[in-house]
């Protein structure tokens, strides 16, 4: 089969690799029908994630069909259409038993496209299949479902739930990329008074409006002042960081009200300054986290009920074999307007949010 193989910083190729097979009795092999590229894949390509060994197939988000299961797999069978979660779950270790699958001690956690071959291929071996894939309801399209592999649970768990969004809140989302936009969509499930999106790119701010942000702010034009004006000078109840650079994290801590929450969802590559000298007296709570995907069943129910505009984040689609071109489009989002790029899957017109 073919897969998108990492060969060290700046080097990857769509090339022939061995077909995956069942290695452990808890494995399944999935034929990949729809797959996406994540910002984390770009970090890997830049060399920011050194534990990824050259020769690894990238990718940790996919929808496909089970083609083979190991002897101990009980809950899925060949022919099932499934969502492959970005987090694998042994289900037995201390952290899995607490629902903190991201910290799995039994060989799970974020392993696909990281420590084992991932989903950007024609087939993928999925360890711990019983707990790491989700059978899809017929009402959920591949394009909606694939956004639930990583982007939506990350936004919902690490942004909205960690940030404790409540009815009537003012929620600020800094960074209107895929995760930030999914934060906007899932924060709105809680009936906030308003959501304010902050970004640099006009197209992303427009997408934020379409997903329900009542106000948007160019990050260069004093978003702190806008937030202060809209909240009687107090600041926002919840601020979600969805960029991952020191400046945006520090901006978030300046926009939160006393007693409010800053939820960091961005992936950071360098240290940020924590202004404890100003924050300690304001009763501010700051949370961090890697997604556990424990809410994926809930999000799938919401998607089946038509309550999650997941596939609206897909701006570009390509056949799987054109993945190198897809990476190019995704990596140059400022010029191409790309949010999420989907590969493979049944050909279907997807109306991008920027043009809808
Ligand atoms: Zn990801
Ligand atoms: Zn575990």
CA neighbor of 262 nearest in space, from 218, 272, 150: 272
Ligand 2 centroid to residue 28 C-alpha, Å: 17
Question: What burial class does residue 245 get, using C-beta atoms within 10 Å of its C-beta: 0-12 exposed, 13-18 middle, 19+ buried?
Answer: middle
Ligand 2 centroid to residue 99 C-alpha, Å: 9
All domains of the chain in start order, with CATH:
2-150+292-355 (3.90.180.10), 152-287 (3.40.50.720)
Query: Which DSSP state fits 116?
Result: B
SS3 245: coil
Structure tokens at 336: 């191409």
Ligand 1 centroid to residue 87 C-alpha, Å: 10
Tell me the pTM: 0.95
CA-to-CA dists, residue 329 to 40, 138, 224, 322, angstroms: 15, 31, 32, 11
Each residue's pLDDT tens digit, 260-315: 999 999 998 889 999 999 999 999 999 999 999 999 999 999 999 999 999 999 99
Whether 277 contacts 111, CB under 8 Å:
no
Ligand nearest to the CA of 105: 2
The dihedral formed by the CA atoms of 94, 99, 103 and 107, expressed in degrees to the nearest 10: 70
| HSE-CB for 19 with a 13 A CA cutoff | 9
SS3 13: strand
Each residue's pLDDT tens digit, 225-270: 999 999 999 999 999 999 999 999 999 999 999 999 999 999 988 8
Ligand 1 centroid to residue 93 C-alpha, Å: 23
Beta bridge partners of 6: 12
């Amino acid at each position: 089969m073919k897969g998108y193989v990492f060969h060290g910083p700046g080097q990857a190729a769509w090339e022939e690799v061995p077909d995956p097979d069942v290695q452990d009795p808890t494995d399944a092999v999935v034929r990949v029908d729809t797959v996406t590229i994540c910002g984390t894949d770009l970090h890997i390509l830049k060399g920011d994630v050194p534990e990824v060994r050259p020769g690894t197939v990238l990718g940790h988000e996919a929808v496909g069909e089970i083609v083979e299961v190991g002897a101990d797999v009980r809950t899925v069978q060949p022919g099932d259409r499934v969502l492959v979660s970005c987090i694998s779950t042994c289900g037995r270790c201390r952290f899995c038993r607490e629902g903190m699958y991201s910290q799995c001690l039994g060989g799970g956690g974020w392993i696909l496209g990281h420590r084992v071959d991932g989903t950007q291929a024609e087939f993928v071996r999925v360890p711990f299949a019983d707990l790491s894939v989700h059978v899809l309801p017929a009402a959920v399209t591949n394009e909606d479902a694939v956004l639930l592999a990583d982007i939506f649970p990350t936004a919902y768990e690490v942004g909205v739930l960690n940030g404790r969004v409540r009815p009537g809140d003012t929620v600020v989302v800094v960074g209107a990329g895929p995760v930030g936009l999914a934060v906007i969509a899932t924060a709105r499930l809680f009936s906030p008074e308003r959501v304010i999106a902050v970004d640099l790119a006009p197209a992303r701010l427009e997408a934020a409006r379409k997903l329900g942000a009542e106000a948007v702010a160019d990050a260069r034009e004093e978003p702190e002042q806008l937030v202060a004006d809209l909240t009687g000078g107090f600041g926002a109840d919840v601020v979600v960081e969805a960029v991952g650079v020191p400046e945006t994290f520090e901006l978030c801590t300046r926009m939160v009200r006393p007693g409010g929450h800053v939820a960091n969802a961005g992936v950071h590559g360098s240290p940020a300054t924590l202004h404890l000298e100003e924050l300690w007296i304001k009763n501010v709570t700051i949370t961090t986290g890697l997604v556990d995907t424990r809410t994926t069943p809930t999000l799938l129910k919401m998607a089946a009920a038509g309550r999650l505009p997941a596939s609206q984040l897909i701006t570009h689609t390509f056949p799987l074999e054109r993945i190198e071109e897809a990476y190019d489009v995704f990596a140059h989002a400022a010029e191409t307007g790309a949010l999420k790029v989907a590969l493979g899957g049944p050909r279907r017109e997807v109306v991008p949010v920027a043009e809808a």
